[in-house]
């Protein structure tokens, strides 16, 4: 078959390439328009198809051969100032760039990928595949994904150095800061949402599982240094800095209605331990273990004050003891003071008869079923105490001796007068306030004693 010029092909047909070369004769048809829509092979199957961009299309594809050792190129060019090159697949087909053996796919300027799903590398026979950003002028590269058969993709850097001149913003998944956080830092959102740390204020000791607030060296599971304030705090055991148990909170079971209230105070006033709850009247029980003693102490010679209630309820033995004989215990009902009895305490006994001559610093439990009379001692020093606890059904009468009177509130008995119980369970504690002659009710539990 003889050589054929392109100009001899009829318009609208395809150019057939068989086992002979098709080209231009020197000096003839150096400019021409391709007829048809493409080039077919010897079996009449299409090898290449082209589509015109229209009468005004001035950008085109340039194919350039090259010398030995130089790569041929496919270039987007034309009259436009900036001409890109678009490779488009059909349907869900892929664009595959496959270098031979150890070759790499390189980009020497800006390359953009636009994909509906993802940009992927394909595994071939279990080989390690790299998807890298590579600069031939730099000593290394960034590997975005390294994948070996059966392994997990990773991110790695192979370069002498990598510098982030602008930290990745929080909105882009970064920290917003260009420095590393200290080990143990509890990271929080600072101004403008940028990640921040303050180890002196908040620190976690991962080796010992401890969290420190206002300390970077927590000694306990939760170590709070300084004054803390909380409207609600739950803990069963409270310990000191040495780990020793200070006090334990126990639950009575069921619904708890009554509780303690610890109230601090300003300078010059004592803090208060009070009670609150749903009950109208709430008492307080301080209970020792086994035969232990409940010990109330005051520094120096300051008095111990009982600031509420009409008085003290005697249970078994109520003993006041202190090495300072001038210490006093003050009852705030306006009825005076009970002086400390040096080297002694009140002795108690049960009265089974109907009369009893009282001794100083003594208490009597009235056990008779009939009315029982207790007479004050004729000789008594200031601060001496006589107490009566009603038990028997007959009640009791406290009688002043000759020349003696008993004061109760704003009232006073007659000379050698009496105080009588209204209920058999009434009690009374009287204190000598003028030696031998005058006594005053310090406390009583009664709906109202009878004064004569």
Tens of pLDDT, residue by residue over 247-296, are 787 777 777 788 888 888 888 888 888 888 888 888 778 788 887 877 77
For CA atoms 405, 407, 412, 417, give the dihedral sign.
Answer: negative
pLDDT at 330 over 50: no
Quick one: pLDDT at residue 362? 92
75 vs 46: which has the higher pLDDT: 75
Q: Are 439 and 404 in contact (CB under 8 A)?
A: yes
Q: What is the pLDDT of residues 402-436, one digit of tens each?
A: 999 999 989 999 999 999 999 999 999 999 999 99
Quick one: pLDDT at residue 128? 46
pLDDT at 359 over 90: yes
DSSP lists the bridge partners of residue 237 as 248
Quick one: pLDDT at residue 302? 53
Quick one: pLDDT at residue 141? 53
User: What structural domains and CATH numbers belong to the chain?
Assistant: 1-78 (no CATH), 196-225 (no CATH), 347-451 (2.60.120.640)
Average pLDDT over residues 239-248: 74
Q: What is residue 51's DSSP assignment?
A: -
pLDDT at 147 over 60: no
pLDDT at 43 over 90: no
Q: What is the mean pLDDT of the chain?
A: 74
Quick one: pLDDT at residue 342? 38
User: Nearest-CA neighbor of 418 among 409, 405, 436?
Assistant: 405
Q: How confident is the model at residue 377 (pLDDT cuts 50, 70, 90)?
A: very high
Burial state string for 159-188 with b = 16 or more CB within 10 A and e = fewer than 16: eeeeeeeeeeeeeeeebbbeeeeeebbeee
Q: DSSP states of 57-68 as a string?
A: --EEEEEE---T
Q: Which of 15-29, 145-159, 160-174 has the lowest mean pLDDT?
A: 15-29
pLDDT at 66 over 80: yes
Quick one: pLDDT at residue 48? 82
β-sheet with 15-16: strand ranges across: 15-16, 38-40, 46-49
Q: How confident is the model at residue 179 (pLDDT cuts 50, 70, 90)?
A: confident
CA distance 374 to 46: 134
Quick one: pLDDT at residue 318? 44
Average pLDDT over residues 40-56: 81
Q: How many CB atoms lie within 10 A of CB 397?
A: 20
Please, which residues have CB within 8 angstroms of residue 221's CB and are 6 or more apart in sequence?
209, 210, 211
Judged on CB neighbours under 10 Å (0-12, 13-18, 19+), 56 is exposed
424 vs 116: which has the higher pLDDT: 424
Quick one: pLDDT at residue 375? 96
Q: Collapse the DSSP code of 171 into the 3-class scheme (helix H, G, I; strand E, B; otherwise coil) and give the result.
A: helix
Average pLDDT over residues 176-199: 87
């Amino acid at each position: 078959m003889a050589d054929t010029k392109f100009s001899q092909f009829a318009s609208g047909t395809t150019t057939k390439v068989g086992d002979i070369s098709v080209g231009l004769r020197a000096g003839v048809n150096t400019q021409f328009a391709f007829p048809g829509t493409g080039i077919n092979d010897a079996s009449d199957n299409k090898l290449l198809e082209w589509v015109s961009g229209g009468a005004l299309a001035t950008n085109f594809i340039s194919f350039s051969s090259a010398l030995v050792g130089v790569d041929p190129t496919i270039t987007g060019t034309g009259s436009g100032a900036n001409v890109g090159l678009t490779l488009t697949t059909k349907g869900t087909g892929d664009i595959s760039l496959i270098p031979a053996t150890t070759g790499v796919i390189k980009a020497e300027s800006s390359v953009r990928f636009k994909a509906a799903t993802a940009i992927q590398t394909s595994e071939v026979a279990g080989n390690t595949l790299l998807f890298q950003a590579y600069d031939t002028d730099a000593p290394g590269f960034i590997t975005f994904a390294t994948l070996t058969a059966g392994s997990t993709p990773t991110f790695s850097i192979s370069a002498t150095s990598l510098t982030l001149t602008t930290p990745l913003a929080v909105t882009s998944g970064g920290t917003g800061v260009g420095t590393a956080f200290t080990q143990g830092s509890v990271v929080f959102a600072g101004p403008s949402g940028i990640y921040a740390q303050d180890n002196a204020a908040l620190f976690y000791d991962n080796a010992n599982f401890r969290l420190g607030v206002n300390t970077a060296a927590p000694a306990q599971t939760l170590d709070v240094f300084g004054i803390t304030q909380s409207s609600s705090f739950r803990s069963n055991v409270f310990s000191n800095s040495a780990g020793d148990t200070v006090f334990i909170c126990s639950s009575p079971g069921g619904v708890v209605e009554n509780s303690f209230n610890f109230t601090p105070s300003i300078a010059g006033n004592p803090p208060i331990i009070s009670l609150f709850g749903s009950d109208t009247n709430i008492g307080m029980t301080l209970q020792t273990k086994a035969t232990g003693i409940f010990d109330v102490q005051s520094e120096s010679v300051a008095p111990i004050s009982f600031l509420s209630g009409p008085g003290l309820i005697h249970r078994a033995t109520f003993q006041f003891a202190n090495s300072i004989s001038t210490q006093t215990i003050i009852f705030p009902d306006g009825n005076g003071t009970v002086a400390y009895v040096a080297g002694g305490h009140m002795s108690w006994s049960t009265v089974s008869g109907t009369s009893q001559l009282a001794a100083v610093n003594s208490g009597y439990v009235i056990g008779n079923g009939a009315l029982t009379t207790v007479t004050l001692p004729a000789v008594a020093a200031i601060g001496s105490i006589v107490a009566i606890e009603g038990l028997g059904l007959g009640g009791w009468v406290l009688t002043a001796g000759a020349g003696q009177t008993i004061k109760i509130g704003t009232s006073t008995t007659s000379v050698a007068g009496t105080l009588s119980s209204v209920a058999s369970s009434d009690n009374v504690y009287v204190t000598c306030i003028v030696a031998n002659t005058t006594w005053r009710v310090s406390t009583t539990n009664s709906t109202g004693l009878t004064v004569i």
